[in-house]
Amino acid sequence: FASEIVLNLETISNLASRNRENAVKVKEVLSTTKFKLKIIDDVDGLEICGLIKNINAIANGICEGMSINENARYGILTKGFEETKKIVESIGGDASTAEEYCGFGDLVLTSTSSESRNHTLGMLYGQRIIVDEKASGIVFEGKNSIMAIKDICRNTNTESVIVDFVYDVIVKQIPPKIAFKSLWDNILN
């Protein structure tokens, strides 16, 4: 989280660039003994991972808000990781980018931390405290992420039960328990 970077706490992240020489220069400027950067060349994959982590965080938050058991939540997190690889690949990215800090690392951090705004948003939906984001007056980046990723999945014919679950709850306003049943029934597809 940015709050930890500001506090000069240990952090590791990816830096993506199509120009390795420039990436090395940026890495030299930004890296410290506590802030580590690993260069990758999959810019598109990194960007998609940044969107998908928000969706996974919302999904896990919804499930936690509904008091879904931990085994199921971590199964859903694992499915989210699998689907991240598929979606990255569907846009021409490298599926292995999902295994980087920008992928797996951010996905787990954002999906399980109480500091994550999107995880919190999901919990509020799961507890039915928020039913309609507009009416609540609360704006989270995850809403835009779900719309963008849903379009990508539609345009690339990529199925994602996690994206569908979050889309159903937030955009279609389907009650979380009903949407969860569909997610769970299709988790192994």
* Average pLDDT estimate for 40-58: 96
The alpha-carbon radius of gyration of the chain (Å, integer) is: 17
Distance of alpha carbon 126 from alpha carbon 58, whole angstroms: 9
Phi, psi torsion values for 16, nearest 5 degrees: -105, 135
Domains and CATH numbers, the chain: 1-41 (no CATH), 42-185 (1.10.1040.10)
What mean pLDDT, rounded, does the chain reach? 94
Rounded alpha-carbon distances, angstroms, from residue 181 to 124, 174, 177: 18, 11, 6
pLDDT tens-digit profile of 124-172? Answer: 999 998 766 666 666 666 678 899 999 999 999 999 999 999 999 999 9
pTM for the model stands at 0.92
* pLDDT value of position 163: 98
**Confidence at residue 143, expressed as pLDDT on a 0 to 100 scale:** 75
Which of 48, 58, 55, 46 minimizes the C-alpha distance to 101?
46
11-16/35-40 β-pairing: parallel
- At 130 the pLDDT is 79
Structure tokens at 73: 């939540």
Check residue 181 and give its pLDDT: 98
Long-range CB contacts for residues 160-163, cutoff 8 Å, separation at least 24: 160/83, 160/86, 160/87, 161/79, 161/83, 161/186, 161/187, 161/189, 162/55, 162/56, 162/59, 162/76, 162/79, 162/80, 162/83, 163/55, 163/83, 163/87
User: Which residues neighbour 18 within 8 Å (Cβ) at sequence distance 6 or greater?
Assistant: 41, 43
By annotation, the residues acting in catalysis are 53
List, in sequence order, the alpha helices (H) in the chain: 2-6, 20-30, 43-65, 70-90, 106-112, 117-126, 133-136, 141-155, 161-170, 176-185
In this model, does residue 79 exceed pLDDT 90? yes
